[in-house]
Amino acid sequence: MHIGVPKEIKNHEYRVGMTPTSVREMVDHGHEVTVESHCGEGIGRSDDDYRAAGARVVDDPASVFADCDMIVKVKEPQAVERKMLREGQVLFTYLHLAPDPDQTRDLVDSGAICIAYETVTGAQGGLPLLAPMSKVAGRMAVQAGAYALEHPHGGLGVLLGGVPGVDPAKVVIIGAGTVGSHATHIAVGMGADVWVLDRNPDMLEKHWQQFGRTTNSVFSTADALEHHVLTADLVIGAVLVPGASAPKLITREMVAKMKPGAVFVDVAIDQGGCSETSHATTHAEPTYIVDDVVHYCVANMPGGVPRTSTYALNNVTLPYMLALADKGYKQALQDDRHLLAGLNVCKGHVTYQEVADTLGYAYRDPLAALDG
């Protein structure tokens, strides 16, 4: 198979779909890899590094899309990239389609086979290709929140961990999953007063076993959510419904009642955000203010630490890349129901139920779409 790796073009996105190490693995399996020039600059890898690994380096993305059977990316294809996709071509990347009707329409129209990292499931449960970026984003959320809490950046002027004789900041984390647990790890390490809310008793039990009395875990009801959000200095939205739009747990009315200068970091923004006041921002302009509450809603947070993120991502995506290339996409998807769960769009059909339901498409069974 011929695999293509274009340079990412989303605002301040410095990750890359394949490292030179991954390229070498593909080449050793007998496959051809073409990468766009300078695609690895953000992770400190040169075109010569990719050539040494066996890749062909080209100067423009059009050559990558035109020549290759499978495109491997990190972020969802931008509008100009979607125009270059063709019928029967495999796209393997994060997609986050439910809150993105324009992208979904373009992918359906392309006739491509579009496999989303974020809905591939794991044999032991969970979402193994989403997990590394969730870990990064959870840790970054506390860093971003602490920075935004500084008065020059619009915040309360509160130090997250306080100092002897002065209370630390109250950090409220909505969701005890991967993002929430890694955010908790950093917030506890910085000395914050940490409160974690979740509706799943098993997740709260797991959280207690991991963190014990260093945090406060709360079963999330409407009353509990409102109380803790309104008394928080920093709120981190860490909710996820796989493949679907995030629920709007924080209402506009709640935001209006929050502390002036409080900070809200919405890690769920890739799936539309968990507040009615959320809209996606970029690393270039990461924050905005609604009712005196600082909102940080960067849709590609891990892109800010591309070296860590890219290598963590490739550790989990490489086995799936090899399966798709070694077996061909159809056989690989038929053989692995967990990889099949990542198939969101196939040959003009939406093959992921939550995306179809959210955006009003007729759902097509993924196996039927592959046969068609």
Question: What are the tokens at 124?
Answer: 């032991």
User: 257 falls in which pLDDT band (50, 70, 90)?
Assistant: very high
pLDDT of residue 243: 82
Q: What's the pLDDT at 25? A: 98
Q: How many whole angstroms separate alpha carbon 369 and alpha carbon 356?
A: 14
Contact present, 42 and 306 (Cβ < 8 Å): yes
The per-residue pLDDT for 143 is: 97
**Confidence band, pLDDT 50/70/90 cuts, at residue 281:** very high
Residue 114: per-residue pLDDT: 98
Nearest to 174 by CA among 192, 191, 195: 195
Residues 6, 39 contacting (CB under 8 angstroms): yes
DSSP 262: -
Structure letter (DSSP) for residue 36: E
Residues ≥6 apart with Cβ < 8 Å to 11: 282, 283, 284, 300
Residue 294 CA, distance from chain mean position: 21
Residue with tokens 């890694």: 182
What pLDDT is attached to residue 244? 86
Indicate whether 227 pLDDT > 90.
yes
| Angle formed by the axes of helices 306-327 and 131-148, nearest 10° | 160
* Predicted confidence (pLDDT) per residue in 296-339, tens digit: 999 999 999 999 999 999 999 999 999 999 999 999 999 999 99
Cα–Cα distance measured from residue 246 to residue 99, given in angstroms and rounded to the nearest whole number: 9
pLDDT of residue 372: 81
pTM: 0.91
Q: pLDDT class for 141, splitting at 50, 70, 90?
A: very high
Q: How large a percentage of the chain has pLDDT more than 70?
A: 100
- Of the pLDDT bands very low, low, confident and very high (cuts 50, 70, 90), residue 125 is confident
Positions annotated as catalytic residues are: 96, 270
Residue-wise pLDDT for 26-64, tens only, equals 999 999 999 999 999 999 999 999 999 999 999 999 999
Which pLDDT does position 47 carry in this prediction?
98
- What is the reported pLDDT for 327? 98
Q: Tell me, what's the pLDDT at 242?
A: 85
- Taking Cα atoms as reference points, which of 303, 173, 146 lies closest to residue 249? 173
- Mean pLDDT score across all residues of the chain: 97
Quote the crossing angle between the two packed helices 178-189 and 201-211, to the nearest 10°: 30
- pLDDT above 90: percentage of residues in the chain: 97
Residue 366 to residues 114, 234, 340, Cα–Cα distance (Å)? 11, 41, 7
**Residue 98: what are its φ and ψ, rounded to 5°?**
-55, -40
Task: For 127-148, give one letter per residue: b (16+ CB within 10 A) or e.
Answer: bbbbbbbbbbbbbbbbbbbbbb
Asked if 334 and 371 count as a contact pair (C-beta separation under 8 A), the reply is: no
- Compute the average pLDDT of residues 261-271: 96
pLDDT confidence of residue 241 = 86
Query: Residue 57 — φ and ψ, nearest 5°?
Result: -110, 130
Give the pLDDT mean for 65-90. 98
